[in-house]
Structure 1
Amino acid sequence: MSKQKQHYERGIEDVWSAVKNQIHRGHENSFILEPGPGNWEKYDPFLFLAEDWFQRGSFDTHPHRGIETVTYVMEGVLEHYDSSTNGKDELRAGDAQWMTAGRGVIHKEDPAPGETVHSLQLWVNLPASHKMTEPHYQNLRAETMPVREEEGVSVRIFSGSSGGVQSSTRNIVPVTMLEVTMEAGAVLLQELPSSYNGFIFVLEGEARLGRDRIACGERQAAWLGEGGSGEWSSVRIEAITPLRVLLYAGEPLHEPIAARGPFVMNTEEELRQAYQDYRDGKFI
């Protein structure tokens, strides 16, 4: 473990297990941030995190406005089409995509033929000042992401920073997204701005988290406690067994939310306008 400045060490406010639901024969789903969409104030700036196991045809072409989606692929090959570039691409295991829907985009995510994709998709709220920003995509390939290496610890940095290693991912809302892989017995102290909300989702293994060393196992989520009164805080991750987790943390917006379907705005009037613009063919 590298030497770090003294930070307020966060506790763990809550731990819960993800519940898997059968949507149809080719699609299973879990909402990781319980109880699902709607707990806006607590999880700010995050709207929800969906875990999906799905086959081709589970999701049709659909629009978005007012959000960013962050898709992380754990298994399978995910094909992607978007209207902003009329382009097609694919994500493989370990890759992520950061989509800024902004003023409006139409896209489709579909497993390659014969594939079952296991993915996580996080929705990040956009501030009122950027709800109508120009849409864009960032494909974050696992092999090109910066990595922080320490004894028994590897941190792949999809967004934000870890131990002085910085990602070049462009953010509107400041967000840290890390994939942390650890050997049994290893310890990581991850620094975070004290103002950030955040959580950890365990993909594999068992961990002790936070200043109280709270146990957390596979497919459990842990919401971070408050960050103290200083500028910086830290969260402690200890691997009981070989461990892989995702850490998400971000700056809360403290803005009103009006959400329906694929659109997230600040007022009901803006929501009605989003639907009208989509019907009028104004999304690119």
Structure 2
Amino acid sequence: MSGPLGAVGTARAIVSIVEGMATSDGAGVKLNRIIGQPALPDLDPFLMLDAFNSDDPNAYIAGFPDHPHRGFETVTYMLAGALRHRDNKGNVGLLGPGALQWMTAGRGIVHSEMPEQRDGLMRGFQLWLNLPARDKMCAPHYRDVAAEEIPSIDLAAGVQAKILAGEIAGRRGVVETGATAPIYLDIVAAPNTACELAVPADHTAFLYAYEGEVKVGERETAARLQSGRLGILSSGNRVVIDVGAAGARLLFAAAKPLREPVAKYGPFVMTTEAEIKQAIADYRGGRF
């Protein structure tokens, strides 16, 4: 869904801006953690957002060897470089530039994500999306989406969005999404442009600027969002974006909040501590 500039409705505003925190994960992959750090532990139903961007193979070549997940979904989107996925359900896939991987861990999966190159740029994002309590023990499933399969749409003159998930302006992404009904976009905007998105009023939403800067909101209350920062958006059914002289690249994500208890322990996300203990026991017992 999208609407013309000046459409009727409540424009969302930035209520908080969060800067990512440098950290490492897997076998020492250096990354920037935006959601899932002390300044922003989660943003219901989003559990984590990591950005990785390096041209130094030593920062990423060790990758993410075998590790388990239970109770949520992982969404990996590559801008440059390649990752090889393997899991204990027999799935194998190569995630190249512009490609998307959507994995629903459900009741349990063990997988690895390993770089397929020894030099060159490795750049992309991984988003964790919670599952409702009723779906946490569903059968795991996995989908690779090649770059050429991802639909794109012109939001305005000079502003294009790749639809990684959900629907906008009558176009849908190719991944079938569940109870949180996520919308996930990669927006590329030329200098001095503007666009507007229509979004469900009840969805949690954020913008993450990974290049350039933008102003978000109606002109009299617009707030500036600089590169490397995430803006948490207020409620409303419209998002108004004005792009600066350098142009911008943005991730936009919105999803229905679950408003359920969250119990987290590393790669396990459940609703109670007892379920976390059971997940640990099941993994150690080889029941994934």
On whether the aligned pair clears a TM of 0.5, the verdict is yes
Structure 1 residue 37: deviation in Å? Answer: 8.7
Structure 1 residue 23: deviation in Å? Answer: 6.9
Structure 1 residue 282: deviation in Å? Answer: 1.4
The answer to whether residue 218 in structure 2 is matched with residue 213 in structure 1 is no
Partner residue, 1:3:
4
Partner residue, 2:37:
35
One-letter amino acid matched to 1:151: A
Distance (Å, rounded) in 1 between the aligned partners of 2:108 and 2:64: 18
Relative to structure 1, the CA distance from residue 266 to residue 22 in structure 2 (aligned partners, 3 Å threshold; closer, same or farther) is: closer
Relative to structure 1, the CA distance from residue 165 to residue 119 in structure 2 (aligned partners, 3 Å threshold; closer, same or farther) is: same
Distance (Å, rounded) in 2 between the aligned partners of 1:182 and 1:37: 28
**Range with bigger deviation, 105-114 or 12-21:** 12-21
The answer to whether residue 126 in structure 2 is matched with residue 121 in structure 1 is yes
Distance (Å, rounded) in 2 between the aligned partners of 1:23 and 1:169: 27
Relative to structure 1, the CA distance from residue 23 to residue 71 in structure 2 (aligned partners, 3 Å threshold; closer, same or farther) is: closer
The answer to whether residue 269 in structure 2 is matched with residue 264 in structure 1 is yes
Q: What do residues 76-115 of structure 1 show as CA deviations (whole Å, max 9, x unaligned)? A: 111111122x132111122121110001101001111304
Unaligned runs of 5+ in 2: 54-58
Relative to structure 1, the CA distance from residue 83 to residue 224 in structure 2 (aligned partners, 3 Å threshold; closer, same or farther) is: same
Structure 1 residue 39: deviation in Å? Answer: 2.9
Structure 1 residue 244: deviation in Å? Answer: 0.9
The answer to whether residue 210 in structure 2 is matched with residue 203 in structure 1 is yes
1:271 is paired with a residue whose SS is helix
TM-score by length of 2: 0.88
Distance (Å, rounded) in 2 between the aligned partners of 1:61 and 1:23: 12
Distance (Å, rounded) in 2 between the aligned partners of 1:82 and 1:37: 32
Partner residue, 1:14:
16
Check whether the contact 1:36–1:48 (CA below 8 A) recurs between aligned residues.
no
Q: 1:183 aligns with which of 162, 184, 190?
A: 190
TM-score by length of 1: 0.89
One-letter amino acid matched to 2:41: N
Relative to structure 1, the CA distance from residue 36 to residue 123 in structure 2 (aligned partners, 3 Å threshold; closer, same or farther) is: farther
Check whether the contact 1:160–1:175 (CA below 8 A) recurs between aligned residues.
yes
Q: 2:250 aligns with which of 241, 245, 248?
A: 245
Distance (Å, rounded) in 1 between the aligned partners of 2:95 and 2:212: 25
Distance (Å, rounded) in 1 between the aligned partners of 2:149 and 2:188: 17
Matches for 1:66-145 after TM superposition, within 5 Å: 66-84=71-89, 86-115=90-119, 117-145=122-150
Structure 1 residue 265: deviation in Å? Answer: 0.6
Identity percentage of aligned residues: 33
Distance (Å, rounded) in 1 between the aligned partners of 2:28 and 2:201: 41
Alignment length, in residue pairs? 275
Q: What do residues 117-168 of structure 1 show as CA deviations (whole Å, max 9, x unaligned)? A: 2221111111011001111112122221111123111111011122222223
One-letter amino acid matched to 1:207: V
Distance (Å, rounded) in 1 between the aligned partners of 2:37 and 2:271: 22
Partner residue, 2:282:
277
The answer to whether residue 55 in structure 2 is matched with residue 50 in structure 1 is no
